[in-house]
């Protein structure tokens, strides 16, 4: 029964016991009935549609019409999300009841008058409408992004591989075993992970820094007021960006060909030895970095040129009057102002380069091979190794565990870079 002076604690307890009861106690009868209907629908689903998938998620045993472990896991994840969404709704229902009761007591208003004087005291139609507008996009994102991500993470805790593969067999939960195999000191998996991780970091750093320096050098040359036809030169330098990356990579694949490649032909014509680009570990890595720099430099050129043009000319004129040398103008004015604009882009580029799958896969395929490895080649980065484990060796659970480690590493690495570069502080100041 509604009361003109509801107690927040009572409203919260009622809503905890039965969704909507606290709202009805506060005088929000329509809202309370709507919340009760939501809870009733959820309870019906819980003991009918959701029961078997939730049981299957725990055991991964065939249940009902689900016999394939993959289907059992997928259905269980969807059911778990439904339960989680309702849990969020139930908590929100309790918070709403407590806040509304507190608001009524604070304003000393009757429940029937609250709709007129308090904009937060609304009927369900007014509060749900905005969520209905974005529901289609949220639903698509849920099934396209969230569910596959959760499924991939869940596989990391199973023994899903060629020998435990439906429909011939089934897989089970094995906890942290896959992560233990990857991280156990002294194991072959750990040695391979260390090798790939170190090269992955070196590749991401080298690719980002060298492409940035090349873009910076070209931008500074194009900003020189004594150069004519700047537009034509800028267009020529931007052409590699217009060419699809796949085409550029295949061109470099031909250029670096050890036997017939133009680069080795030129070297032999001038009396030098041919370079084993794809047969030697060091030269294979050099070829990967050079290709990356070629593809990435135009983007850096575009960003840096735009940033340089935003620096007021008056600052340079004042520095010249004060007797500053060109190097002092660059180190004290140009570079600091440039980095204040470009630093966030560099951090994001670094994170992207860490997972740059295409260049490695198309140029070297991760090779050359490393003796005694678990499929990891000399130029493999973590993501190409994940691909090899999952699609070549059919070690899906190990590949999923490695992908989870990559995700954690990239997040931590990006946060550290954001903090070191001052990007987070800059964003907070802008807010």
Between 40 and 117, where is the model more confident? 40
What's the rounded mean pLDDT across residues 409-425? Answer: 70
Q: How far is CA 337 from CA 307, 312, 349, in A?
A: 8, 10, 19
Q: Which residues pair with 66 in a beta bridge?
A: 63
Q: Angle at Cα 301 formed by Cα 299 and Cα 302, nearest 5°?
A: 65
Domain with CATH 1.10.3720.10 in the chain: 180-430
How does pLDDT run across 161-187, given as a tens digit for each residue? 988 888 778 899 999 999 999 999 988
Number of C-beta neighbours around residue 425 at 10 A = 11
Q: Does domain 180-430 have CATH number 3.40.630.30?
A: no
Share of the chain above pLDDT 70, in %: 91
Looking at residues 109-116, what average pLDDT do you find? 49
Cα–Cα distances in Å, from 327 out to 210, 289, 332? 20, 29, 8
User: Residues 6 or more apart from 283 whose CB is under 8 A from it?
Assistant: 275, 276, 277
Q: Which of 88-97, 126-135, 418-427 has the highest mean pLDDT?
A: 88-97
Q: pTM for the complete prediction?
A: 0.81
Q: Tell me, what's the pLDDT at 421?
A: 61
Q: Are 343 and 417 in contact (CB under 8 A)?
A: no
């Amino acid at each position: 029964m509604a009361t003109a002076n509801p107690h927040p604690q009572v409203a919260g307890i009622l809503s905890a016991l039965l969704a909507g009861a606290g709202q009805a106690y506060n005088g929000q009868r329509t809202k309370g009935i709507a919340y009760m209907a939501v809870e009733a629908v959820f309870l019906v689903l819980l003991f009918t549609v959701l029961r078997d998938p939730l049981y299957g998620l725990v055991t991964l045993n065939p249940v009902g019409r689900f016999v394939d472990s993959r289907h059992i896991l997928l259905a269980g994840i969807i059911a778990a999300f439904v339960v989680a969404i309702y849990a969020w709704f139930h908590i929100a229902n309790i918070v709403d009841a407590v806040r509304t009761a507190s608001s009524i007591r604070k304003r000393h208003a009757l429940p029937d008058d609250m709709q007129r004087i308090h904009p937060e005291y609304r009927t369900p139609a007014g509060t749900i409408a905005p969520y209905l507008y974005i529901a289609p996009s949220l639903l698509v994102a849920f099934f396209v992004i969230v569910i596959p991500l959760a499924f991939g993470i869940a596989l990391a805790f199973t023994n899903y591989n060629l020998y435990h593969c439906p429909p011939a067999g089934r897989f089970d939960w094995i906890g942290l075993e896959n992560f233990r195999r990857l991280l156990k000191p002294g194991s072959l998996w750990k040695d391979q992970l260390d090798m790939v991780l170190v090269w992955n970091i070196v590749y991401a750093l080298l690719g980002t820094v060298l492409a940035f320096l090349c873009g910076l050098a070209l931008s500074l040359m194009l900003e020189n007021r004594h150069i004519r036809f700047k537009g034509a030169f800028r267009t020529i330098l931007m052409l590699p960006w217009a060419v699809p990356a796949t085409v550029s990579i295949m061109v470099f694949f031909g250029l670096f060909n050890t036997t017939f490649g133009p680069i080795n032909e030129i070297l032999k014509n001038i009396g030098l030895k041919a370079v084993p680009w794809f047969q030697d570990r060091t030269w294979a890595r050099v070829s990967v970095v050079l290709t990356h720099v070629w593809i990435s430099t135009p983007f850096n050129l575009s960003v840096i040129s735009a940033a340089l043009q935003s620096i007021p000319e008056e600052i340079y004129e004042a520095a010249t009057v004060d007797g500053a040398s060109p190097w002092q103008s660059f180190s004290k004015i140009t570079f600091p102002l440039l980095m204040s604009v470009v630093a966030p882009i560099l951090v994001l580029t670094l994170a992207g380069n860490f997972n740059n799958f295409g260049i490695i896969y198309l140029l070297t395929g991760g090779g050359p091979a490393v003796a005694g490895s678990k499929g990891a080649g000399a130029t493999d980065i973590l993501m190409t190794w994940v691909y090899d484990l999952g699609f070549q060796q059919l070690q899906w659970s190990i590949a999923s565990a490695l992908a989870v480690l990559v995700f954690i590493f990239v997040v931590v690495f990006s946060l550290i870079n954001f903090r070191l570069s001052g990007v987070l502080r800059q964003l907070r100041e802008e807010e």
